Homo-oligomer: A and B are copies of this chain.
């Protein structure tokens, strides 16, 4: 039988101190697929079983130098965030200290292998600290995760009918209650129904508490589609995601309408601090920022990329805190602007409309990643006395503020022409 994937016999590892060779042989002999090893081991505790499965899989595949033994709690991984596990890859975490944001001081963990990134960001926050006051000001001005199924009709009039139906307040209320019933946290905010030919792209937007929210949205959308299908039986569901969400693809839609948290960060730095800490002139910074971040990006046909290096910071904090690193594609959209104020100070703003972050779900439940969130006092669900989602919004603010610090520092480095030297000194292969 072609679809056969191994018998249902189990590997008796608990009976005695198991031999790895024996286990591997059994798997081979019984034709057990690699991903099913966990399900076939019996006689030992769960965590031991999962660990043993990883060990067997490594032996079968000949994996040696990828670590696996010390730092992973496989019960947190199995069935939740990875399959066919063979170990883990450790990424160095650097700490940026003394980050003053909205009057509070943070230590910010960044997971990176790019030499100079942590040091450069640190320098940005040093300038901000020396500027005094409450540091970087931030504001979350919009919040909502999105998902956009595609539905199809044969007749244009039917597609129009659904679009019109959704636009009516009482019908939206029905959809809203259906959607919200699928989760304790998700609250539907709006549906944008975009018609194209006889297809409709229904972009749902909802707040999702402290979760990044993709799964909540998927669950809610699915339930709504069931409801809609009952009312519009000619509707054909093409796909739960129609790329009009838009997840993990650079798209103008998120840049314009936002996705996740939309944040603005602002700092004002006296000219003297710019000169003594960053060793550049305010006017030169402003000029270079316009030429690079506006003009260069405009010429390159950038979509949301009007900044120097937002993606570096987004990725580094995302990985440290258990976010989805692939969402850096959309989350790193940022417009950085610099201006010389009448008093000679530098005003720098970073506007990031689509930070897709959460402090629960995804990789945030892994202990190290959780600890990284704890360093900033924002792990897990928001404490009861605050409104839902406060932790996630705080994470978005911290990221946006850190981007600002890093933009400040890198732009200064570029002007000084020190970037290459610093990079080469720090990053070059020594072998």
Leading 6 A-B pairs by shortest Cβ distance = A249-B305, A252-B301, A250-B250, A113-B363, A252-B252, A243-B296
Q: How many residues of A contact B (CB 8 A)?
A: 166
* A57: interface (CB < 8 Å): yes
Which applies to chain A's interface (DSSP): helix, strand, loop or mixed?
Answer: mixed
A348→B324 CA distance, assembly (Å): 27
Query: Does residue A128 face the partner (Cβ distance < 8 Å to B)?
Result: no
- Contacts A/B (CB < 8 Å), 20 sampled: A34-B97, A65-B368, A66-B371, A87-B93, A90-B90, A90-B368, A150-B291, A196-B264, A196-B299, A196-B335, A198-B266, A201-B296, A218-B423, A218-B424, A238-B291, A239-B414, A295-B335, A312-B326, A315-B328, A329-B329
Q: Interface code A371-405, partner B: CB below 8 Å = 1, 0 otherwise? A: 11011000000000000000000000000000000
CB distance from A157 to the nearest CB of B (A): 8
* Interchain nearest-CB distance for A242 vs B (Å): 4
Q: Are B57 and A95 in contact (CB under 8 A)?
A: yes
Verify if A124 is at the interface (C-beta below 8 Å from B): no
Q: Decide: A65 near B319, CB < 8 A? Known: A92-B77, A194-B299, A361-B427.
A: no
Minimum Cβ distance to chain B for residue A80 (Å): 5
Whether A83 is near chain B, meaning CB under 8 Å from some CB there, is yes
6 A-B pairs besides A84-B94, A315-B325, A361-B427 with CB distance below 8 A are: A82-B117, A139-B156, A197-B264, A249-B310, A252-B255, A297-B298
